Amino acid sequence: MPLPKPTRIFKLISVAWLTIALQTTTQRAAHPQPALDPPLSASPPPSISPTPAKPLTVEPPSSPLAQLPSAQLGNQLGNQVSLNGRTFNVPWSQWQTAGTSRIGLSDAAIVQLLGAQLLSTPDGASQPIEWFPTAQRSVLTPRFAAPVRYLDITTLAQQHGWQLQTTGQNLRITTPTARLVGIRQGQQPFGDRIVIDLDRPTPWQIDPQSQEFVLTLDAQTDPSFVQNFKPRATAQVKSIKVEAGANQTTIRLRIPITQRSQISTLSSPSRIVIDLRSDFLPTLNILWTEGLRWRQQTLEVGSARFPVIWFEVNPRQPGLSLRPILPNPATVTGTASLIQTARQSQASAAINGGFFNRNNQLPLGAVRLKGQWFSGPILNRGVFAWNETGEMKFDRLTLQETIVLSSGQTIPLATLNSAYPQAGISRYTPLWGSSYSTLSDNEVLITAQNDRITDQRSGGKAGSAFAIPTNGYLLVARGATAAALTINTPLQLSTTTQPSDLSFYQNIVGAGPLLIQDRQIVLDAKSEKFSDAFIREMAARSAIGQTATGTLLFVSVHNRVGGRGATLTEIAQIMAQLGAVNALNLDGGSSTTLYLGGQILDRPPRSSARVHNGIGIFLLPSP
């Protein structure tokens, strides 16, 4: 049955919250709040009492990941799109189907370049979109080549008279010249509305900034219109400025930093509608590919309403794997935006991970990759651990290393590969990098090679660099005696973990505090030695969780409607609503970032801070 028209699509741009999302409705004037999905959990909230953790093993399924081999996928893969003369660095692909050449754009290109929006779908083999919608909804066919999903735009281009041309790594898209006809302002019960009238559908892009919303149209505007346009200032719209180029128009709206903007497109005639309103996150449920579902919904916690965007990940899916990701695998030093790290590591999806020191760009918590400790745990804080056999565990972790001298004397070590300058003796291995820079004054540096101490010296002022031997490690004494660690002393190293079974998990990312364990909220930030200021903070939150069926939840939560972000208690309650039986809080605030298929889902990339590590989701063909 044809859809009622006109159908509206809403792209939501939060200037304070800095996020982009969309919604649809079938009414011409009113914009009702989209109905929420059925409650995610009908059971009462978990009680607050700790219980011992047990690993949950998930069995692999029989069906492989639906993916075309790269040889079948296309004649070309490119990373540059020229849209009406402007160049964007986004992935595209060309392939053959039944003897016909097809062109696909990545999800990010569809949304960011065209202004289209992905709609909910239970079918990973089709992706409905909205873009100046008509009675016949546009449905694009996905083609997956790790780590990118491409959507076939060939038919869409034909319907709208676009010209597509490939040259090397570049895809040139030329759309018919559109014209801006007018701009109208009006009042609705929810607030201000601005309507941009066009003579035909045309690509558009958005750029939400600190107190300005910028809309760029691939459309001509008569200079006389720009000269004569007299916008009306309101409480929500401080100013509207129109800038006309040859075949491009830029509209700049000055709005309060707390105001959120919502964009919709209409057809017959073509219009772009900007609404300023407080309800900003629609329900979305997209099966992005087998094993990975993209969800978003506003959830209630008490009287507060939070925008929640999350992934549901099936770790049993053949070809799907998880891995800690770092900006530079050669050293633990360094930070980068999550989008940069995810792209570099070839992850299809990712969430930011653990804490770090922003000044020296070093980790403050566990990062274990394929059995190797790039950074050890600190302060018995919460971790998420997993291995390739399907076992996963959420718990608090302590790593205890001990030096055993030939005399039988034992010396406990404080930390391993850590930027947390704890009193005692710490150990640094080549995984830390080629050198170690002292974190405090007057440290004592002891070099161990081939199970024997070969050097001991004073570190002097903080910041002095010392080489880490490739065939050994560096011991660093801070406020502790190193008298027994003399040159030529033989030594052995023993390692245990608490709980002991966590030593068998090959991959670990630490953050904290632990939120939920075995269906119980076990939040105890003080025991994990978080500061009072951190405990009281209301902020954007990232978290990872596991449901009773073994599904993993990668969760991002930003500012509540009309207020600030979530408390630790509230993020624990949100994870429980999503069905988590185990959950861990990750680094939050400006670090909170959720990445999928080349784009950041929960905030504009420019607002995403540099982070030290993340958890990547990798989708590869089955062997």
| Dist. CA 619–CA 572, nearest whole Å | 29
Q: Which two tokens stand for residue 453?
A: 């101490």
Last residue of a domain, one of 237, 257, 279: 279
Give the 3-state secondary structure of residue 364. Answer: coil
User: Would you state the pLDDT for residue 70?
Assistant: 41
Regarding whether 413 and 393 lie in a shared domain, the answer is no
54, part of any domain: no
Considering the domain architecture, whether residues 493 and 508 belong to the same structural domain is answered as no
Count CA atoms closer than 13 A to 618's CA, side-chain side.
Answer: 15
Establish if 533 belongs to a structural domain: yes
| End residue of a domain, out of 479, 498, 517 | 498
Model confidence pLDDT, tens digit, residues 156-203: 999 999 999 999 999 999 999 999 999 999 999 888 999 999 999 999
Q: Residue 211's pLDDT is what?
A: 76
Q: Which of the 8 DSSP states describes residue 113? A: I
Is residue 109 a contact partner of residue 87, using CB atoms and an 8 Å limit? no
Q: Where in the sequence is the domain holding 354, given as residue range(s)?
A: 290-397+501-619
Both 379 and 410 in a single domain?
Answer: no
Residue ranges for the chain with pLDDT beneath 70: 1-74, 210, 257-258, 279-280, 621-623
User: What is the structure's pLDDT at 125?
Assistant: 95
Q: Is residue 356 part of a domain?
A: yes
Final residue of a domain: which of 483, 498, 513?
Answer: 498
Same domain, 189 and 299: no
The domain that holds 441 is classified in CATH as: 2.60.120.1140
Domain count, the chain: 3
- Judgement on whether residues 22 and 97 belong to the same structural domain of the protein: yes
Query: What pLDDT is recorded for position 258?
Result: 64
Domain assignment present for residue 56? The answer is no
Q: Is 130 a member of any domain?
A: yes
Beta bridge partners of 4: none
Q: Are residues 418 and 428 in contact, defined by beta-carbon separation less than 8 angstroms?
A: no
Residue 57 covered by a domain: no
Q: Residue 274: give its domain's CATH number.
A: 2.60.40.3500
43 in any annotated domain:
no
Q: What gap in Å lies between CA 524 and CA 514, rounded to an integer? A: 7
Read off the DSSP letter of residue 224. Answer: H
CA distances from 86 to 112, 161, 164, 173, 310 (A): 13, 18, 14, 10, 32
Percentage of the residues of the chain whose pLDDT score is greater than 90? 76
Residue 597: its pLDDT value, please?
93
Q: What is the structure's pLDDT at 257?
A: 67
Q: How many CB atoms lie within 10 A of CB 230?
A: 6
- Same domain assignment for residues 557 and 517: yes
Q: What is the pLDDT of residue 621?
A: 56
Whether 130 and 119 have beta carbons less than 8 Å apart is answered as yes
53 domain-assigned? no
What sections of 295-351 are H helices per DSSP? 338-345
Give the model's pLDDT for residue 44: 36
Same domain, 120 and 19: yes
Residues 220 and 231 in one domain: yes
Per-residue model confidence as pLDDT tens digits over 109-143: 999 999 998 999 999 999 999 999 988 889 999 99
Whether 540 and 615 share a structural domain: yes
Same domain, 197 and 311: no
Q: What is the pTM of this model?
A: 0.86
pLDDT of residue 607: 81
Nearest C-alpha neighbor of 439 from the set 423, 463, 460: 463
179 and 239 share a domain?
Answer: yes
Do residues 513 and 568 share a domain? yes
